[in-house]
Amino acid sequence: MDASTPSTSASKDTSSTTSTYDVVIVGGAMAGATLALAIEHYTQAGLSVAVVEAAIPDNAHPGYDARSIALSYGSCDLLERIGIWHILSPFATSIKNIHVSDQGHFGLTEMHADKEGLPFLGNVIELADAGRVFHRALEDAKRVTLFCPAMVSTIDRTQEGVTLTLNDGQTLHTKLLVAADGATSSCCDMAGIERHAHDFQQVALIANITTTLPHQGRAFERFTASGPLALLPMSEGRSSLVWCVPPEDAPDLLALSDHAFLAALQRAFGWRLGHLLHVGKRNMYPLILRQSNTLISHRVAVVGNAAQTLHPIAGQGFNLGLRDVVSLAEEITTAFKRNQDCGDISTLLRYQRRRTPDRDNTVAMTSGLVHGFSNTSAPLALGRNLGLASMSVFQGLKAPLLQRAMGLVER
């Protein structure tokens, strides 16, 4: 197969063949798909890219299930720069305001797009919609070949390149392998990239909620004694719920009738959206910080959830991963324009140097918020509520939180 063959996602010839690509990306959900499209855009299809994805994007796909994702203002801007936002925006619901409060305490702060002179602070997109959009964009790309469904069986590295064997017997050869295959990345395992984990001792309950009062583009982050609770604006007047609770409480909440579940949620959230009327299908996910010990190895780069999987507090996970993706695409493009090897260690080191400060700061911020707002000690509760109240009065104090919430950070 020639590396410039148009992308396909149908079943492939299972006879043993070897195809050569400039970049092979393992994982075709949002991080991997965005990277492939960013490389295509920045290099004007000057590099050949293969994307290996195990699952066809539908509601059963682990990267494109019934959840929603909050894209910060900065992330929407990055997606616009690489020519993707216009195909995603029809499925987006704008976040106009963000309301942050601490249950049972006086502290709260609000952020408003119009006060910042912006059209929105972010956007919410259902992952199922994103999956269909990205899958179609990959199929339409000139020099992206999509192997789906397909899995990587082995990875062999030499000084000059990487050879991957797929589960159907095909082999792919490349100068650069990118691991974008999620929190439990088998690609990282095969490449010997170690990860460490921290269990937050919380479970996220996910569901879509309908309320009597229209959300009007308002997003809510509420800190409760059991963990943070967020409601994000969605299409059709719905709100996307992420409710973090102790693991021992989650099964009982899932087992409640819809009426009883909504009553419990009403007690935790309050009445800012009026009466909570309906709840959709409920799911739960354990919340564990997983972080790779490095972003690079010999001819390998790591991006997205394969690099770090964050607590959903403040909605930083995909937004941080997107900054990984675009930064790596830029460094690959720089090497391409200089007629250099895109998998060379100098390219990978530039990527790692750029991403380490933002990565470390975002991980520290999200983990600090989880532990700080989960602590019920009176002095700490007073301190954090004074902080929230002060941010409502002094705009300068709010600026760092607002900038990170909007994704306007150096990368």
User: Over the stretch 254-276, which tens digit does the pLDDT of each residue have?
Assistant: 999 999 999 999 999 999 999 99
Paired strand residues for 126: 68
More confident residue, 7 or 99: 99
pLDDT band at 331 (very low <50, low <70, confident <90, very high): very high
pLDDT higher than 70, residue 247: yes
pLDDT score of 6: 36
Q: Which of 285, 310, 276 is nearest to 205 (CA)?
A: 285
Judge contact between 121 and 98, C-beta under 8 A. Answer: yes
pLDDT tens-digit series, residues 151-166: 999 999 999 999 999 9
Give helix 378-393 / helix 395-405 axis angle, nearest 10°. Answer: 100
Min mean pLDDT across 26-40, 178-192, 291-305, 394-408 is at 394-408
pLDDT digits (tens, 9 = 90+) for 385-394: 444 344 444 4
**Average pLDDT over every residue of 76-102:** 94
Q: Which of 111, 319, 313, 117 lies closest to 218 in space, CA to CA?
A: 111
For residues 81-97, average pLDDT:
95
pTM of the model: 0.87
**Cβ distance 24 to 172 under 8 Å?**
yes
Please state the rounded mean pLDDT for residues 318-340. Answer: 96
Mean of the pLDDT values across residues 69-90?
94
Q: Which residues contact 119 (CB under 8 A, 6 or more apart)?
A: 94, 113
Q: Which pairs count as long-range contacts for 252-259, CB under 8 Å and 24+ apart, including other chains?
A: 253/205, 253/282, 254/205, 254/282, 254/284
- Report the run of H or E that residue 178 belongs to, with start and end: strand 171-179
Is the pLDDT score of 307 beyond 60? yes
* 3 state DSSP class of 97: strand
**Any idea which architecture 18-84+127-196+289-369 has in CATH?**
3-Layer(bba) Sandwich (3.50)
Structure-token match 């969605």, residue found = 234
- Kindly tell me if the per-residue pLDDT of 370 is higher than 90: no
**Token pair listed for 200:** 């937050």
Average pLDDT score over residue span 304-328:
89
Q: Quote the DSSP letter at residue 285.
A: E
pLDDT at 55 over 90: no
